[in-house]
Amino acid sequence: MRRYTIVFLLALTTLQCARPRPEPEYLGPVFGPGPRRVVVVSLDCLRADHLGCYGYPQPTSPRLDALCEDSVRFARATAPYNWTLPSHTSLFTGLYARGHGVRKENQAVSPEIPNLVEPLREAGFATAAFTGGAYMARRYGHARGFDTFWSSEEDYLQWAEILERGEDWLTDHADEDAFLFLHTYEIHMPYQPPIKYLREILGYHRTKFMGGVREVQNYLTGAPPEIAVEVVGRYDAGILYTDDLLGGFIARLDAAGLADNMLLIVTSDHGEAFWEHGRWGHNGDLLGPQLTDVPLIVRLPRTVFPAFAGKIVEDEVSFLDIMPTVLDAVGVEPGSDIDGFSLLPELIGRPVNVADAEARERRTVKIDGDETLLGLCESRNYVSLRAGGWSVVVPGPTSADIDTLGGAVPYQVGIDTRAWPALYRIAQDPWELEPLPLEGKTAAALSAAAARLAGRPGERDAAPSEIQIPPGLRRRLQALGYL
């Protein structure tokens, strides 16, 4: 029986070492001849440091670890927001929340803001999404541009069914350019993985902690060691389950030849905290690398780029860079004045174009005389920004909580913000547990960059619309730990 102790939760992990690889040269188009396929997979609530390929000691992700050996892994990818709705809105628009304005549970992105999918459909791509529903429901504006959009506001959608539908759709569109978006909440609270995977991780499955909302309320601000082990174990078992099914899906696409000319992106919208900052979960004002650091794994078309397998990119990048990267890869202009930039220079060594140069400049800060890219994540009232081995947490655009909607889990309970604003030295304090005074040139430069990028809600573009949250959707969101 494998011992699963809280030591793994509290120990600081080190990224796996890799031999340095030479920088690739520009090799031309991303895709080879024939139908082009793009598949983006968002594994909701997956923190990067709970994957083996990001240094986790537990065997949660053998299939994703193998995928990393065949892909480009971004070691420092940041979620733009600390919960699902605004973060995924950033994915589809390439904008931080100041641009799309979505910061609350009852807001939907304006149809006037360009998104990822519409230009793909205009370019002749068949487009489909199969999601876990809830904040990915149609009423939040995510369905725009999709020929097929499969989601539910009320029902729990199994990962196996999502993958099966996605695979069938790709097979049916094998002769066309195709874009597929897949999303699941299997890793997300309430942590209900199949028994098989609980046994794999914990060594047993009859846990005292069962994952209900009432139990979550009991342990929001702390838990006895035996309960904490089970909470993290259930979370990790969800990762293993999701990993297993996703690995099978990718293997079947490979065997069918559907992946040879496919750009595959696996990522997450935010992470999950386990009491490191006084609170379990995400949302509210929870910040820190447990929330902000997400995986970003990109497998290039195998017939074109076999030489790039296993590369690791150390630059600061963001979840919202996926939008311009996909459009750039298929030869579609993403539009001007977005916050994201194409990652093709990091992926294949392609020169930075003019639009990307402007976006990169906006997301650059000078630290100790060196210009470096930065990573930014927002919470409801604060902004976390990381660059050059430093991090700050500073006040951001305020956004009142909507606990008046009948919230089952109060967002701010247990979150101690008294140390903020603060500065952190990442090399000595990678989990950002020891705040330093917000003083000196570095703190000033990072704080100014945070203010510049976060801005005010709806500052630049069309304001979001307010929507009604019907009872069925409310129940589904509460089951996920929201509202």
CATH number of the domain encompassing residue 119: 3.40.720.10
* DSSP output for 293-308: EE-EEEEPPTTT-GGG
User: Rounded to whole angstroms, what are the CA distances from 129 to 151, 178, 239, 324?
Assistant: 8, 11, 21, 18
Residue 340 lies in a domain: yes
Q: How many domains does the chain have?
A: 1
Rounded to whole angstroms, the Cα distance separating 43 from 182 reads 8
Residue 264 lies in a domain: yes
Q: What is the dihedral of CA 300, 294, 346, 30, to 10 degrees?
A: 20
Rounded to whole angstroms, the Cα distance separating 262 from 173 reads 13
8 A C-beta contact, residue 277 and residue 415: yes
Q: What is the pTM of this model?
A: 0.92
Rounded to whole angstroms, the Cα distance separating 25 from 349 reads 5
Q: What is the pLDDT of residue 12?
A: 34
Q: What is the pLDDT of residue 17?
A: 34
* DSSP output for 156-221: PPPHHHHHHHHHHHHHHTTTS-EEEEEEE-TTSTT----HHHHHHHHS-S--S----HHHHHHTTT
Give me the tens of pLDDT residue by residue for the chain, a chain 483 residues long: 444 444 333 333 333 333 334 355 555 789 999 999 999 999 999 999 999 999 999 999 999 999 999 999 999 999 999 999 999 999 999 999 989 999 888 999 999 999 999 999 999 999 999 999 899 999 999 999 999 999 887 777 899 999 999 999 999 999 999 999 999 999 998 899 999 999 999 998 888 888 776 777 778 888 899 999 999 999 999 999 999 999 999 999 999 999 999 999 999 999 999 988 888 888 888 899 999 999 999 999 987 887 778 999 999 999 999 999 999 999 998 877 899 999 999 999 888 988 899 999 999 999 988 999 999 999 988 999 999 999 999 998 765 444 433 444 455 565 777 788 999 999 999 999 999 999 999 999 999 999 988 875 555 557 888 988 888 888 888 888 776
Which residue, 271, 318, 392, 330, is CA-closest to 99? 318
Residue 182 lies in a domain: yes
Q: Which helix (H) or strand (E) holds 476?
A: helix 471-479
pLDDT digits (tens, 9 = 90+) for 168-219: 999 999 999 999 999 999 999 889 999 999 999 999 888 888 877 677 777 8
Q: What is the pLDDT of residue 457?
A: 54
8 A C-beta contact, residue 443 and residue 435: no
Long-range contacts made by residues 313-316, C-beta under 8 angstroms, separation at least 24?
A: 313/72, 313/73, 313/74, 313/75, 313/343, 313/346, 313/347, 314/75, 314/76, 315/74, 315/76, 315/346, 315/373, 316/76, 316/78, 316/363, 316/372, 316/373, 316/374, 316/375, 316/386, 316/387
Q: What is the pLDDT of residue 412?
A: 59
Rounded to whole angstroms, the Cα distance separating 415 from 283 reads 10
Residue 440 lies in a domain: no
Packing angle, helices 62-69 and 225-256, rounded to 10: 50
Rounded to whole angstroms, the Cα distance separating 233 from 394 reads 32
Residue 1 lies in a domain: no
* Domain of 115, in residue numbers: 33-363+469-479
Rounded to whole angstroms, the Cα distance separating 483 from 478 reads 6
CA angle 35, 37, 40 (to 5 degrees): 175
Token pair recorded at residue 285: 């004002």
290 forms beta bridges with: none
Which residue, 138, 127, 167, is CA-closest to 38? 127
Q: What is the pLDDT of residue 483?
A: 64
Residue where the block lists tokens 């696409």: 253
Phi then psi dihedrals of residue 166, to 5 deg:
-65, -45
Rounded to whole angstroms, the Cα distance separating 16 from 14 reads 6
